[in-house]
Amino acid sequence: MESVKKKQSLIERDRQNVWHHISPYSEKNPPMIVEEGKGSWITDHQGNRYLDGMSGLYCVNVGYGRGELAEAAYEQMKKMCYVPMTQSHEPAIELAEKVNEILGGDYVIFYSNSGSDANEVAFKMARQYHQQNGEASRYKVISRYRAYHGSSMGALSATGQALRKYKYEPLSSGFLHVASPDNYRKPEGMTIEEYNLQRTKELEDTIIWQQKESIAAVIMEPLITGGGVLIPHPVYVEKVQEICNRHGVLLIIDEVICGFGRTGKSFGHKHFNVNPDIITMAKGLTSAYLPLSVTAVRKDIYETFKDGEDNSHFRHVNTFGGNPAACALALKNIEIMERENLFERSAELGERLLNELDELRKHPNVGDIRGLGLIVGIEMVEDKITKEPASKELVGKLIAACKNNGLIIGKNGDTVAGYNNILALSPPLSSTDEDIDFIIGVLKKVFNEN
């Protein structure tokens, strides 16, 4: 009885004191109160176990309960808990070297706390770079509709999801948007390659129409993740880089979700023949065990901040960015990924997931199934011929049915009105074969019954 009272008390205390992220208030459906995680599984305060098919928010890449990560943070905290990055410390130096090694490039690493922070830093760097490079007119940033780049005011301005911005506008000025490739909805009679090239032409037209001397940067994820798992043809990404180079525009690649093995390679842009000017990363960097993010900047861009003139240095500070414990933990996290070949494992398991789930295409409401590595999207429609997006009721019903069967899945929620119809899967890269079997089994059961 005491245990039951405690559980009820937790729910009531939560209801009275906690404001939940991106969640409508509901008396009937209180949030899950999670007590423990191990591997790909989480356990709530009532003892119910669920396979977390979303890795939290696309981030617990090495799985839950890794004692090595806790120990790495603990040992560093005992030695030195905090150093502001106006100075430096050994874990920050070692992590910067390791990130550079994985990138295979020559970058300088700036530390922050989150993906939103990392993108804010990228925008400021891009604008200041052009100013100090003699092109002060370049301040505009082009991003894409349906893409998500963060929740702070600048990052939200870059975000192409109207529902995320609704009631918070006006936001920051100087942010433009173009359509991204949605290969499932490409025009009839056009190849995927032709369609993707058409989208790049629209980007170049925008640069020209806006006066190219006013454009500072283009920001894009290698594939749109939270906006619906929209995967471009390689010709698209490579053409975007070519366009940016031709017009003197910096290319910022947002690897916050795609980085650290999520797509089956170390970074999502490694699927394409591109060399970004700036790369942002977070989430999988620490597998979400502690907050940490990175803005990696090409070294020749960094050099323009060293000219010695007044205010030429980058005047941005982040109190907790580059925390020693978070950096030490990130190093151990990467060590685990390399030791267990989790980048390759992500590619292998992702391919298996797509192959096994292909039979769901027979379902009358499944329009498309797509993925890269361990990120998969199932697009739900009302009608396969018209491709009318499925109702939120149908999407919600399927998510609830999966949860009732012990599987947590997600969706592209609160993005664009009428297009929140893609179910999302993003399990830990460390998932076992049995975990993947469970995911496949639950999904097949739910789709057969609904």
Q: What is the crossing angle of helices 67-79 and 324-339, to 10°?
A: 150
The structure's pTM equals: 0.96
Mean pLDDT, 10 residues at a time, over the chain (450 residues)?
68 91 82 96 96 98 98 98 97 98 94 98 97 95 98 97 95 97 96 98 98 98 97 98 98 98 98 97 98 97 86 92 98 98 98 98 98 98 97 96 98 93 98 98 97
Place of tokens 């901040």: 305
CB 160, CB 226: distance < 8 Å: no
- Listed residue (245, 223, 278) closest to 426, CA to CA: 223
- Listed residue (19, 46, 51) closest to 33, CA to CA: 46
Sheet holding 140-144, edge to edge: 107-112, 293-298, 278-281, 250-254, 215-220, 140-144, 175-178
Q: What is the SS3 assignment for the chain?
A: CHHHHHHHHHHHHHHHHCCCCCCCCCCCCCCCCEEEEEECEEEECCCCEEEECCHHHHCCCCCECCHHHHHHHHHHHHHCCCCCCCCCCHHHHHHHHHHHHHHCCCEEEEEECCHHHHHHHHHHHHHHHHHHCCCCCCCEEEEECCCCCCCCHHHHHHCCCHHHHCCCCCCCCCEEEECCCCHHHCCCCCCHHHHHHHHHHHHHHHHHHCCHHHEEEEEECCCECCCCCECCCHHHHHHHHHHHHHHCCEEEEECCCCCCCCCCCCCHHHHCCCCCCEEEECHHHCCCCCCCEEEEEEHHHHHHHHCCCCCCCCCCCCCCCCCHHHHHHHHHHHHHHHHCCHHHHHHHHHHHHHHHHHHHHHCCCEEEEEECCCCEEEEEECCCCCCCECCHHHHHHHHHHHHHCCEECEECCCCCCCCCCEEEECCCCCCCHHHHHHHHHHHHHHHHHC
* Amino acid 312: pLDDT: 86
* CB atoms closer than 10 angstroms to residue 165: 14
Note the CATH number of domain 67-339. 3.40.640.10
Q: Which two tokens stand for residue 116?
A: 């939103």
List, in order, residues 6 or more apart from 208 with CB less than 8 Å away: none
Q: Which two tokens stand for residue 415?
A: 């993005």
CB 346, CB 353: distance < 8 Å: no
Tell me if the bond preceding 170 is cis, omega within 30° of 0. Answer: yes
Q: What is the SS3 assignment for 50-100?
A: EEECCHHHHCCCCCECCHHHHHHHHHHHHHCCCCCCCCCCHHHHHHHHHHH
Q: Which two tokens stand for residue 440?
A: 């496949």
| Phi, psi at 400, each rounded to 5° | -65, -40
**Topology of 2-62+341-449 in CATH?**
Aspartate Aminotransferase, domain 1 (3.90.1150)
Chain centre to alpha carbon of residue 425: 13
* Amino acid 306: pLDDT: 85
Q: Which two tokens stand for residue 264?
A: 């089956």
CB 253, CB 264: distance < 8 Å: no
* Amino acid 417: pLDDT: 93
CB 206, CB 142: distance < 8 Å: yes
| Phi, psi at 41, each rounded to 5° | -115, 145
- Identity of residue 393: E
* Amino acid 5: pLDDT: 64
Spans of all domains in the chain:
2-62+341-449, 67-339
Which residues are bridge partners to 34 per DSSP?
A: 44
